[in-house]
Structures are given as C-alpha cells and as structure tokens.
Amino acid sequence: MAGQHEAEEDVARLSGAAAGAEAARLRLAVAQANEAYHRRDTPEISDAQYDALKRRLLAIERQFPALALPDSPTRAVGAAPAEGFAKVTHAQPMLSLENAFEAEEVAEFEARVRKFLGLDAAAPLAFTAEPKIDGLSLSLRYEGGRLVQAATRGDGAVGENVTENVAHIRDIPQQLTGAPEVLEVRGEVYMSHADFSALNARAAAAGDKIFANPRNAAAGSLRQLDARITAARPLRFFAYAWGAVSEPLGTTQSAAIARLSALGFATNPQTTRCEGLQAMLAAYRTLEAQRATLGYDIDGVVYKVDDLALQRRLGFRSTTPRWAIAHKFPAELAWTRLEKIEIQVGRTGALSPVARLAPVTVGGVVVSNATLHNEDYIAGRDATGAPIRQGRDLREGDWVQVYRAGDVIPKVADVDLSRRDGASQPYVFPKVCPECGSDAIREPGDAVRRCSGGLACPAQAVEKLKHFVSRAAFDIEGLGAKQIEAFFREGWLREPADIFTLREKYGAELALRDGWGERSAQNLFAAIEQRRRVPLARLIFALGIRHVGESAAATLATHYGTWDAFLAAVRSADDPDGAAWPELLSIDGIGEVTARSLVSALNHSSDRAAVENLMAEIAAEPAAPRAADSAISGLTVVFTGTLERMTRAEAKARAEALGAKVAGSVSARTDILVAGPGAGSKAKKAAELGVRVIDEDAWLTLAGAP
C-alpha cells in the first residue's frame, strides 16, 4: 500500500472532476465499510484496506480542499464512523415550487408575473405546462460530458451523494456528446405503476417490506447504501430543469428542454406551450383527464414562464422561483370514524386538536391522524364566526371525511350527521393546558388557544428542543425526537444550550445507558461538536420563534449577514420610533406580524435568556451576501418617484439579488437614492443628509441592465 507521501503525489495529478468522483467513491466505500462493521457486525474489508481508503480520501481532500466536506469520514471526531451518504452542497440551490389549488390562484400568479414585469393584460406572455411528477428530485452534474455527481435534493442546499446509485438508471446517460462543459441537469426519479406492482409482488413473495406507493418505492430504492440494491430496482427519470450550466441551453424553457432531450435525456412528452391563462387551465384539465392512464403518478401541473430572459428578470424568492407555480390536483377523500379528539401542545404553546381516526387508505397512504386546526374548526365556524361545514360541529364517534393533498397533514373536510350517535356530546375544548395545567388563553384576534406556561410547560420545552434539532434546523445526527424526549425525562436537557454541555455533564452516564455504549455516545458527541458552528439561517430558524419559518429565517440571515447585526437590529427594533423597526419591516417577506413576534421573542420572553445561553456555546456562520462581487452589494438603496424601465417590485428584487438592502425611507444609513420623475420629499431629505442621488439610467448601469 502506498505511503502517505506517494499517495499525495499521485493525487496532485488528478483533474478536479476525477478527484470529485473518486472522493465520492471513497466516501461511499468508507460508508459501506462502516455500515458493515458497525451496523451488521460483518466486516467486508480488512482494517488495513479500510485505513488505505481513508488515507487516500484524506490525500484528495488535502489537495482539493473544496472536496473536504464537513461530515467527511476523515473529519470524524472521537472515531465516529461516517454514516449514510456523503453530503453534497448544491452549486445552485434546489428550490421548491409555490402551490396553487384553485384556478383563481393560477390567475393571480399570472397577474403577478405580468405586474412584476410591467406587462399589460394584452401583452403576449407564454408559459409551459407539464406534469408534476410525484417522485423525488435529483441533480446530475456533467463535466466534459461525463456524469461526475448525482445528488438528491436534501434540504435544497445540501443533498446526498447518490452517484453510484444512479449508474444503472437507464434514463440517466453516463456520457453526453455535444453538451456544455458544465451541465447540471435536474429532474425527477420515479417508478412506473407496472414496475411498482411487480416490485411489491416480488417483495411480498420474499416476505420483504411492501411500499405504500410508487413515490416511497422510488425514494427507498434510490437511497440504498448498497448501490447493488438500487441497480436491481426499475427506476426512471424525467429531466425538467437545470442548475449550473457553462453555456445557455436555449432562450426559452421549451427550447432548453428540447436540447436536453436531444442530449439523450427522457423529457416529458405531455409538456405543452400555452399562450395565456385559458390555455394553461385547458392543459391542466387535459392532464387531469389523462392522469389515470399515464402509467406513473403525477400530482399536478407545473407552469413555467417560457422566455428565459423573463425568468431571469423574475428571479427567486428565498425558496421558490417567481416564474413558476405548481397547480395541484384536488385532494383524495375517504370516510372513516373519528375515534377520539386529543390535544397536543406545540412549541409556541398552541393547543392543537388532533383527530385519532380508524385507519383508512387515502391516495395510497394509510391515515390514522388528522389535524382539526383549532376549537372554532371543531365547533363548525371560522375565525370570523362564519359557519364552516354549514355550521356542523365535530364530535368523538362521528363519521368524517378526510383528505390529503400532497405531503400535507391529513385534514377533516366534512361530517355525516345521519350516522351520528344520538347520545354524542359536543366536544368541550380545554381551558387549561393538558400538559402543565397552566391557563390556556385565547388572545383576541388569535384563532388559537395557547398555554401560558412558557418554558415551564414541559410540552413546550420539549417541542422547542425537537424543533431545534430538526432537519432544517441544527440537524444533529443521532439526536432526534426520541432521544430529546428521553434526555428531557432524565432532566439532562431543558433548553438548547444544554445540548452543548451534555458531554461534559452526562457523557459518562450516557455511555452506560441501555441502547447506548461508548461508541454511540462518542458518535453523538462528535455530531454535536460539528454543530458548534451553524449557518445563520439555520440558527434563526432553530430558535422556533412564532411566524419565523425556514423562508423568513433565510431572508433575515441574508439581510443582516451576521448574528450580531441581526440581534442588534431586532433589539433596537423594540423602539418603534428608531430606524431599526422600519428597516425590519422593509425586508421583502417580513410582515408586521413576523416582525412583532421576533422583537417580542428576543427582547421580552423567556426565550431571551435561552438564546443568550445558547450563544455562549455556539457561533453562527455569517450568511454570504447573495452576490458579494456586485457593485451594490451591502449597500442600502431607496427607490422613489416613477421608474420607467422596470416596475418597483422588479427593481427591489434585483437590488436584493445583487446583495443590496432596500429600505422604504431615507435615513443617514441610506447609501443610494434612486430617484425617478416626480421624486418629492425623499429626494429633499437625501440632499439634506448628503446621500448619493442617481436616476434610473445610472442605477441600471450600476446594477447591470437586465
């Protein structure tokens, strides 16, 4: 076996692409060896071979630091073995789509696109309409025509490396001719109905696991650590989008897809080009009628603006493009018995009623729980007091109609009064928290009743912790809901900061616990150590502040850049007359409700102390400005007067995409005022404060004309 020195010399001769592919293979090999050794207790390679694999990987990572992923087996602390797939950071994030359920929402989308672009109702505007494939998305990276990496979507920013696993999917070419030097093809992996039935029949005969639906079967088959299992499963792939490309694929969506098809990818034959809303809705009806005979699952139609120059101008919100929308098919329905109504207390103290149902299959999935939203929903009225279900209430023992749309939690749509037991009683919603006995209070204007116990309520505390470690937040491997509950019961964890002192305080005890052991305890602590630095957006999301979801957290992180700047701003925003409050409100996507919730959580509540304790243990990685190298990155810009070359919305989105902040009013912190004709008091104030004032043309030069 080559020594360290020789290995490094040899590695220096690898091309970047070859190194990436080899590192991926090595990580997989190490992961498989770990799996065999630790999970199945049946080592497949000798210790010396294992060491050689790790040494080679380390040599590659030294030579190509970009390949040294934070979770690489070479970095494992305390001899934690690498588990599962290697992580892949997507060169361009893999986004999701906004959903529409009704034709009106599609009409609103179309109108919004027009308004953003400044197109009147008569101007031509074409969209593509294509089936929304119900599978899992995949990004394929080709360099010099060769497939070098395949990655799942993961959380959109970081996915899993499944390069080995896609080698046998016949719709995925390993080699392309005439492709751009760099080409990331994105699309959906799925399983056809026929292949799904055959797979389940084989599994049933062999006494193996049966999959609930083709989507689960596709996901389960692709995400096999043993690539040989994937190879034996019939997976398919439709290409419908792209990520990084070294040269454009075309000038329209349709042309780009045609190019992918010419390169050898399977593209969906049902895709059509639609001029206007009526054509889009007609395409939807056609696909809905074809749905049962396509031979694979689709759950809606995706509309995309056809002209790629317009797509570029429209750009992205934090997690979805402005130029596309998914029009979902109506949810599937089923009748069953509502056996019991139970109350769950969430991390913000909300008392959420849950229906326990007699299990029933809805759209291929067995459903036994459904959300009942809040007390008004059970009583048959909405937040304004207007009747829903024509005022029919829901009672334990009732026959109810449940539905599910996509991945959302099942809901109760209706109740059959003719089957109601005469002795049944209306449901009485509790006025105290079922978990801690504190008063459960309903504030005027709030549809939800909340426990007033704060972090003293065990349910709130434990739910906050579960949220903190969840996938989109700290995502600590080996610390899931089950472990949080157990550690909470022990009294080891009360607030997030306790996670980071767990090793010091209870490390020795944990290793002696049932189901644990020295190695698994070390693995957990290594995973925790890795999260002492987290991206700012994850940290903000992890705090579990009401109304601050993943998308608002991402927006806040990009706007403020660092934790200190964010915290200082939210603390100052407590003063409604200061500059920080309007700045917070001026951020696209942060409304007044979210802003108030942030200010109150970080200034007044029991969260404040918990946040301070946490920050004594960890650090946040600053968020990269969206485009660090633009001329306006980091500047604060205000627009006033009439803009003639683009709408206000487009100007704002563009400035933000280039890393600038857009404020609503001029202050000493304004860097540039873009003044169109008719600018009034803002221009005057800018002159007084010595703020740079430019016209729209100068602005376009600065921001690079679209």
Active site residues: 132
Closer by beta carbon to ligand IVH, 321 or else 535: 321
SS3 percent helix, strand, coil of the chain, rounded to 5, is 40, 20, 40
489 DSSP assignment: H
Closer by beta carbon to ligand IVH, 189 or else 227: 189
Q: Does 130 bind ligand IVH (CB under 6 A)?
A: yes
Cα–Cα distances (Å) from 72 to 41, 61, 444, 525, in that order, read 22, 9, 51, 16
The region of 127-135, 560-568, 599-607, 681-689 touching ligand IVH under the rule CB under 6 A is 127-135
Q: Does 184 bind ligand IVH (CB under 6 A)?
A: no
Cα–Cα distances (Å) from 680 to 239, 639, 642, 683, 699, in that order, read 51, 11, 11, 6, 18
| Alpha carbon distance 469, 59 (integer Å) | 33
Query: Which residues face 620 on adjacent strands?
Result: 534
Cβ–Cβ < 8 Å for 98, 551: no
Q: Does 137 bind ligand IVH (CB under 6 A)?
A: yes
Q: Does 95 bind ligand IVH (CB under 6 A)?
A: yes
| Alpha carbon distance 353, 443 (integer Å) | 18
Find tokens 């759950």 and name the residue.
299
Q: Does 448 bind ligand IVH (CB under 6 A)?
A: no
Closer by beta carbon to ligand IVH, 373 or else 626: 626
Q: Rule CB under 6 A: which of 97-116 touch ligand IVH?
A: 97
CB of 95 to ligand IVH, least distance (A): 4
Closer by beta carbon to ligand IVH, 218 or else 610: 218
Query: Which residues face 387 on adjacent strands?
Result: 381
Q: Using CB atoms, what's the residue nearest to ligand IVH?
A: 137
Provide the token pair at 167: 């080698």
Closer by beta carbon to ligand IVH, 24 or else 95: 95
The region of 26-34, 126-134, 394-402, 478-486 touching ligand IVH under the rule CB under 6 A is 126-134
Q: Rule CB under 6 A: which of 518-537 touch ligand IVH?
A: none
Q: Which residue type occupies 104?
A: E
The region of 91-99, 106-114, 376-384, 595-603 touching ligand IVH under the rule CB under 6 A is 91-99
Nearest 5°: the CA angle 41, 42, 43 is: 110
> Strand 619-621 to strand 533-535: parallel, antiparallel, or no bridges (unpaired)?
parallel
Q: Does 96 bind ligand IVH (CB under 6 A)?
A: yes
One residue of 83, 188, 398, 435 binding ligand IVH per CB under 6 A: 188
CB of 323 to ligand IVH, least distance (A): 8
Q: Rule CB under 6 A: which of 321-350 touch ligand IVH?
A: 321, 324, 326
DSSP result, 58-120? HHHHHH-GGG--TT-GGG-GGGPPP-SSPEEE-SS------EE-SHHHHHHHHHHHHHHHT--
Q: Rule CB under 6 A: which of 207-246 touch ligand IVH?
A: 240-241
CB of 137 to ligand IVH, least distance (A): 3
The region of 130-138, 177-185, 587-595, 607-615 touching ligand IVH under the rule CB under 6 A is 130-138
Residue 622 half-sphere exposure toward CB, CA atoms < 13 A = 9
Q: Rule CB under 6 A: which of 290-309 touch ligand IVH?
A: 302
Find tokens 């009147």 and name the residue.
120
The residue among 396, 615, 388 whose CA lies nearest residue 497 is 615
Q: What is the CA radius of gyration of the chain?
A: 27
Find tokens 């294509």 and name the residue.
130
> At 179, is the secondary structure helix, strand, or coil?
coil
- Give the x/- contact pattern for ligand IVH in 141-160, rule: CB under 6 A: ------------x-------
Q: Does 189 bind ligand IVH (CB under 6 A)?
A: no
The region of 94-102, 242-250, 288-296, 353-361 touching ligand IVH under the rule CB under 6 A is 94-102
CB of 540 to ligand IVH, least distance (A): 23
User: Could you list the residues that contact ligand IVH (CB under 6 A)?
Assistant: 95-97, 130, 132-133, 137, 153, 188, 240-241, 302, 321, 324, 326
